[in-house]
Chains A and B, each alone.
Chain A
Amino acid sequence: MVEPILDVRGVTKRFAFNNETVTALADANLRIEKGEFVCLIGPSGCGKSTLLRMVAGFETASEGELLMWAKPVQGPGPDRGMVFQDYGLFPWLTVAKNIGFGPAARGRPTKEVRETEKRFVEMVGLTRFADAFPHQLSGGMKQRVAIARVLANDAEVVLMDEPFGALDAMTRERLQAELLEIWERQKLTVLFVTHAIEEAILLADRVVVMSPGPGRIVADERIDIPRPRDPTSPEFNELRRRLSGLLAGHH
């Protein structure tokens, strides 16, 4: 058996809330191999974002362990880049400087940082906007910057928390296609949180279905349809029906 890049073992997360303990995630187990594109899907309160944030190192597990390459995750780090729904760009930095933030923060030489900036600005098609500030960009462009800064930092795992949820439909479709292309070319491992069934089927190798009260994993479906996937095809619809059923069945 291949060693997984990410291994979530019996992870439970409890929060204190108004003097009560709320279980956000109960006994989650998940193995992800290098190069896999995995979507976490489920209604709000199912613990999908909590699981993602624990992998990122922003939260710690109450029980169980999270391993990356068999080593426990200890706090956030550049090997696990995160793309937030609200972008989280630094408003005072230009597009290029946002992309170069990670390499600069890790003390890479200035010349190398410049080259990295240039390469990744180009990669996400923002060369004309390299010196623009985030507030001058559209939502889709901001999210491209957020993806580029994670890739420019050599992230092995890209964690995405409903990254396209705030975008209009056309922009979302284009970014989904671009993301798949980058994922294939860079051999990335992607853990992608969404609540849209269609998005999950369109993107993922595996769809992990989660359910609330308490948050838990209820199914782990492999998607074998060859890419590019056609959302109007019969097998796509078949999967959509099955995942809908899984989501509805566990309320």
Chain B
Amino acid sequence: MTQKHEPGECRCSRGLTRRGFLSTVGAGVAVASAAGKLAAQPAASQGADVLPSAEMTPITLNINGRTHRLLVEPRWSLLFVLRERLGLTGTKVGCERGECGACTVLMDDLPRYACMTLAVEAQGSEITTLEGLMRGEELGGVQQAFVEEDAFQCGYCTPGQIMAVEGLLRAHPEPSQEEIQMGLSGNLCRCGAYVHIFKAAGRAAQLKRGQ
């Protein structure tokens, strides 16, 4: 990975070019995805422009099939924009540093940590949040399975767990036990509901197949 620090290019206040920062994030993804895990990862970015940090930037986000046009600071995370600007609070905040997975959303069907994704990076992707799994007022299959298996206690990590399972099932409709555990390995649950979450993942796969 090369980082360019051309004089005069950086208009950020903190001395790191946006491009440099973004390519750092991108490299982390390359390593992680090479490991072949489907656990949530920071989103990849390609060909990002240098954005002035002090100015609001207009962006367009495609969330749950709807288009949102809004102004953001380039440093705002997708998580912040989803929760605090768009009111989509189904996506939870646990650590804001890519450790817990409470903020997992799908970007183009892949689980991603919204806290490790800048809102400006999320443009051009189809973003799905917990709210996007609902069919009107009806629960989606994965949500239904979590209810049946009591796959949570306090319920705060649950949206992230559900999104991780949803992402897993979109890639592997009939996952093995090992795939389920790997797929959920990026999502912490302090109440310790894992064993029920695994069951819910299996049940969700059934429900999605119409069984």
Partners in one complex: no
Chain B residues engaging chain A, CB cutoff 8 angstroms: none
